[in-house]
Amino acid sequence: MESSAEQNIVNIEINDISLQVEPGQMLIEVADANGVAIPRFCYHKKLSTSANCRMCLVEVEKAPKMLPACATQVMNGMKVWTKSPKAIAAQKSVMEFLLINHPLDCPVCDQGGECDLQDIAMGYGGDQTRYQERRRIVKDKDYGALVSTEMSRCIHCTRCVRFGEEVGGIAEIGGTGRGDHMEIGTYVQKSLSSELSGNIIDLCPVGALLSKPFLYSARAWELQSYLSIAPHDAVGSNIKIQTRNGKIMRVVPADNEEVNESWISDRDRFSYLGANESRVTSPMVRNSSGNLVETNWQAALDTVIKSFTEIIATDGGSAVGAIASPSSSVEEFYLLQKFMRGLGSNNIDFRLQQQDFSAGAEQSAPKLELSLQEIETQNSIFIIGSDIQREQPLLSHRVRKATLAGAVVSTINPKTIEFNFAISTSVKTDKLTPALAGVAKELLSRGLGGDLNLEQLLTDGAVNIAVEAEHKEIADSLVNGENSMVLLGALAYRDQNQSRIYSLATAISKMSNSSLNIVTEGANALGGVLAGAVPYHSAGKVEVSECGVDVAEMISNPPKGVVLFGVEADKDLAGDDSAIDSLGSGFVVAITPFMDRLTYEHADVVLPLAGFGESSGTFVNAEGRWQSFSGAVKPLGEARPGWKILRVLGSSAELQGFELDSSEQVLNEVKALCDVTADKSEPEISNWSAPTDLGNIEAEMVKPIPLYEVDAVVRRSAPLQEQAKKLTGGVDDV
């Protein structure tokens, strides 16, 4: 064993095969990496080791007893047998113990067919029971609208408990009692409140915790899986959409260590339940008596083209505009802007919740400078205006992991926002700008200003900026942290003072040598900018000769013809109802999967758009990662994928460059324009200049959008809404 001198290699033997492995690993990890199957229930690669199920017992040379592989570290010269008669005997007796109290109700249990206990019992279980006594029965718990419980099935592996503590961040579930009287449940009888709670369904190795909406609706073996990307936040979680008979039955996570690890948020998991509510299933045109009537695609498209050409002929291209959902795919953004620009209009926008557009083209694309994985390694994190835990649950999980590793987090947020990780300094305020300016001023006073020219603004300026003790602490932590990051969230993005806030945050990150990370809204805001769905530039940031108008301008001064693409105008757009209604004054083409109020009352043509899981596309997540997905089911009724609708619109308007046959072709065209290497867009260096004023420094921060109100699909998912009601309703039904 010469190599053992090198400290970082350990020689072990598993089942007489010698392996060289890194020290510090557990036996089970080594076995997994080398394709040796060891049965297990409590071990999970993403959770801490509890070693309480004992299913993974293996024989180790010179050890007097069998050792649990999940809690035994590899040691030099170790000889392990996982299938020796002794090991098998031990595993079999553990199995017998586990099966004593587990009900034999596999036929009615939804886990049947994908159950660890069932599978392992096939290998290690006896075919007869020696147990004559009564089995224990445990009362079911109410975990809320998303997770169903059948607690007699629980084998006390404590995966769910550990998940709650380690990942969910709230110790809601725990074991009470001991031995035969142990019960897993919520300590206080209430619904689970974690926004990641659905993951315990996947974690539970038996059928004790199941998906409530999916209950009894399909068997694991009947489902077809399609890889896809979750469309509700900028993380771009990898999901599997599972279908049966062309219907989406459920959504489960797909592992991707770099993005969502093994988890998805409840929003991503249960949103599919809203995908078919109040759908538009055929094209509609408003007739002379003002009613929407169903028609065929050709007629509907002709109406659009005819009206648009009329408008353009009389008022010019700039009389039309388009508003897209920030969760549209890259392909859709690209074709939509191509269509609008082909018509001679640069009025296109997707930044629905933004109020302040004064930064204009200077604002760079909303992007994380770090990768999601790198967030875990930060020592100091400064969160500005973000309910990150609810906005981007899995990004927040990375922040939480950083805090567990010792990072300090500081925030500037409204009072109401609380997080599941420790915060060292929090400025609770309703006004973002002064607090941020305070931090910037503090950094400036430490002589870090460099050539940023901020003195004029912060010290000699008209407004007197107070530097509070907390601002100093934040500055301290940012400057002292070896790796520090500034994170701007949706509240900063939606603020009336957005451009000033972004400038200040950029300045702060420059002065403190931190990375600047921005997340905004929707699943594909970055993709929207890259694909050119903004008034200032077309795809690949090619500047346009004449800037178009932004979404706020389009609402206050509605264009004569407007395309609403995937937007549920009365809920998605910032602004009050009457302002939004004024959008309906012109000729409105609603390309939408859902019927909503504005569409119903004002749209002149409604084109049914494919909904969740129904079309292929690409999202660029906050890191700049381009992730493509394909459709899992056929679009409902007459609905068509967005890129097809736009392509046909483009060619019926006799525009150039719409001869595209597949979404890949569209994607390749965008990628070629955007200079994408290895499916990753690199952060861009924006030209930064000091703002000349601080805008309306007294501007109040906007309210965060509730967790389950973020987009049209989520709003229509009944179980999510029920869960939201349970969590906010105050009174929990016990």
Partner 1 sequence: MDKLIRLIKIWTLWELFQGLGVTGRNLFKKKFTLNYPEEKAPQSPRFRGLHALRRYENGEERCIGCKLCEAICPAMAITIEVAPRDEDSPESKGEVNGAGKSHNYGNRRTTKYDIDLFKCIFCGYCEEACPVEAIVETRIYEYHFEKRGENIMSKEDLLKIGDSEESQLATDLEVDGRFR
Strands 348-349 and 320-324 come out as parallel
Within positions 13 to 52, which residues make up the interface with ligand FES, using CB under 6 A?
Answer: 40-43, 51
Q: How far is the CB of 76 from ligand FES (least distance, A)?
A: 22
**Residue 54 touches which of ligand SF4, ligand FES, partner 1, none (CB < 5 to 8 A by kind)?**
ligand FES
Q: By rule CB under 8 A, what count of residues binds partner 1?
A: 18
**Residue 53 touches which of partner 1, ligand FES, ligand SF4, none (CB < 5 to 8 A by kind)?**
ligand FES
Q: Are 383 and 413 in contact (CB under 8 A)?
A: yes
**Residue 221 touches which of partner 1, ligand SF4, ligand FES, none (CB < 5 to 8 A by kind)?**
partner 1
Of 39 and 283, CB closest to ligand FES: 39
Binding string, residues 120-159; x marks residues near ligand SF4 by CB under 6 A: ----------------------------------xxxxxx
Binding string, residues 92-121; x marks residues near ligand FES by CB under 6 A: ------------------------------
Residue by residue, DSSP assigns 675-724 as T-BTTBPPP-PPP----S----TTPPPPPPPPGGGSSHHHHH-HHHHHHH
Of 469 and 734, CB closest to partner 1: 734
* C-alpha 252 chain-centroid distance: 13
Q: Is 205 in the site for ligand FES (CB under 6 A)?
A: no
Q: Are 614 and 635 in contact (CB under 8 A)?
A: yes
Three-state SS annotation for 423-471: CCEEEECCCHHHHHHHHHHHHHHHHHCCCCCCHHHHCCCCCCCCCCHHH
Q: In angstroms, rounded to a whole number, what is the distance separating the alpha carbons of residues 460 and 690?
A: 14
Q: In angstroms, rounded to a whole number, what is the distance separating the alpha carbons of residues 681 and 539?
A: 13
Of 59 and 172, CB closest to partner 1: 172
Within positions 373 to 432, which residues make up the interface with partner 1, using CB under 8 A?
Answer: none
Q: Is 480 in the site for partner 1 (CB under 8 A)?
A: no
Q: In angstroms, rounded to a whole number, what is the distance separating the alpha carbons of residues 60 and 13?
A: 10
Q: In angstroms, rounded to a whole number, what is the distance separating the alpha carbons of residues 351 and 520?
A: 9
Within positions 658 to 717, which residues make up the interface with ligand FES, using CB under 6 A?
Answer: none
**Residue 299 touches which of partner 1, ligand SF4, ligand FES, none (CB < 5 to 8 A by kind)?**
none
Of 70 and 74, CB closest to ligand FES: 70
Q: Is 206 in the site for ligand SF4 (CB under 6 A)?
A: yes
Q: Is 258 in the site for partner 1 (CB under 8 A)?
A: no
Residue by residue, DSSP assigns 290-357 as S-EEE--HHHHHHHHHHHHHHHHHHH-GGGEEEEE-TTS-HHHHHHHHHHHHHTT---EE--TT----
Three-state SS annotation for 123-152: HHCCCCCCCCCCCCCCCCCCCCCCEEECHH
Q: In angstroms, rounded to a whole number, what is the distance separating the alpha carbons of residues 391 and 371?
A: 17
**Residue 300 touches which of partner 1, ligand SF4, ligand FES, none (CB < 5 to 8 A by kind)?**
none
**Residue 55 touches which of ligand FES, partner 1, ligand SF4, none (CB < 5 to 8 A by kind)?**
ligand FES
Of 118 and 191, CB closest to ligand FES: 118
Single out the residue of 382, 424, 420 nearest to residue 401, CA to CA.
420
Q: How far is the CB of 44 from ligand FES (least distance, A)?
A: 9
Strands 67-68 and 147-149 come out as unpaired
Q: How far is the CB of 379 from ligand FES (least distance, A)?
A: 33
Contacts by residues 166-173 (CB-CB < 8 Å, ≥ 24 positions apart): 166/47, 166/48, 167/46, 167/47, 167/196, 167/199, 167/263, 167/397, 168/192, 168/194, 168/196, 168/197, 168/199, 168/420, 169/194, 169/397, 169/400, 169/420, 169/421, 170/194, 170/420, 173/200
Residue with tokens 């706020």: 552
Within positions 165 to 224, which residues make up the interface with partner 1, using CB under 8 A?
Answer: 212, 215-219, 221-222
Q: How far is the CB of 95 from partner 1 (least distance, A)?
A: 21
Binding string, residues 125-154; x marks residues near partner 1 by CB under 8 A: ---------------x-x-----xxx----
CA atoms within 13 A on the CB side of 307: 20
Q: How far is the CB of 57 from ligand FES (least distance, A)?
A: 8
**Residue 159 touches which of partner 1, ligand FES, ligand SF4, none (CB < 5 to 8 A by kind)?**
ligand SF4
How many other C-beta atoms can be found within 10 angstroms of the C-beta atom of residue 45? 10
Three-state SS annotation for 253-275: ECCECCCCECCCCHHHHHHHHHC
Structure tokens that stand for 303 in this block: 């109406």
Residue from 27, 70, 437, 511 touching ligand FES (CB under 6 A): that is 70
Q: How far is the CB of 158 from ligand SF4 (least distance, A)?
A: 5
> CA 192, 195, 196 angle in degrees (round to 5)?
90
Contacts by residues 720-726 (CB-CB < 8 Å, ≥ 24 positions apart): 720/145, 720/146, 720/266, 720/267, 720/270, 720/271, 720/273, 720/274, 722/145, 723/144, 723/145, 723/146, 723/191, 723/266, 726/144, 726/145, 726/191
Q: By rule CB under 6 A, what count of residues binds ligand SF4?
A: 14
**Residue 160 touches which of ligand SF4, ligand FES, partner 1, none (CB < 5 to 8 A by kind)?**
ligand SF4
Binding string, residues 162-201; x marks residues near ligand SF4 by CB under 6 A: ----------------------x-----------------
Residue from 14, 21, 56, 534 touching ligand FES (CB under 6 A): that is 56
Q: Is 98 in the site for ligand SF4 (CB under 6 A)?
A: no
Q: How far is the CB of 108 from partner 1 (least distance, A)?
A: 4
Q: Is 124 in the site for ligand FES (CB under 6 A)?
A: no
**Residue 158 touches which of partner 1, ligand SF4, ligand FES, none (CB < 5 to 8 A by kind)?**
ligand SF4
Count H helices, E strands: the chain? 25, 28
Q: How far is the CB of 12 from ligand FES (least distance, A)?
A: 17
**Residue 209 touches which of ligand FES, ligand SF4, partner 1, none (CB < 5 to 8 A by kind)?**
ligand SF4
* 3-state class (DSSP) for residue 242: strand
How many other C-beta atoms can be found within 10 angstroms of the C-beta atom of residue 596? 21
Residue from 4, 49, 112, 652 touching partner 1 (CB under 8 A): that is 112
Residue from 54, 159, 398, 671 touching ligand FES (CB under 6 A): that is 54
Q: How far is the CB of 106 from partner 1 (least distance, A)?
A: 8
**Residue 150 touches which of ligand SF4, partner 1, ligand FES, none (CB < 5 to 8 A by kind)?**
partner 1
Q: In angstroms, rounded to a whole number, what is the distance separating the alpha carbons of residues 576 and 339?
A: 29
Q: Is 722 in the site for partner 1 (CB under 8 A)?
A: no
Q: In angstroms, rounded to a whole number, what is the distance separating the alpha carbons of residues 335 and 353?
A: 22
Of 168 and 559, CB closest to ligand SF4: 168
Q: Which amino acid is at 698?
A: E
Q: How far is the CB of 49 from ligand FES (least distance, A)?
A: 7
Of 73 and 513, CB closest to ligand FES: 73
Q: Is 390 in the site for ligand FES (CB under 6 A)?
A: no
Q: Which residues contribute to the site for ligand SF4 (CB under 6 A)? A: 154-160, 184, 203-206, 208-209
Q: Which residues contribute to the site for partner 1 (CB under 8 A)? A: 105-108, 112, 140, 142, 148-150, 212, 215-219, 221-222
Q: Which residues contribute to the site for ligand FES (CB under 6 A)? A: 40-43, 51, 53-56, 68, 70
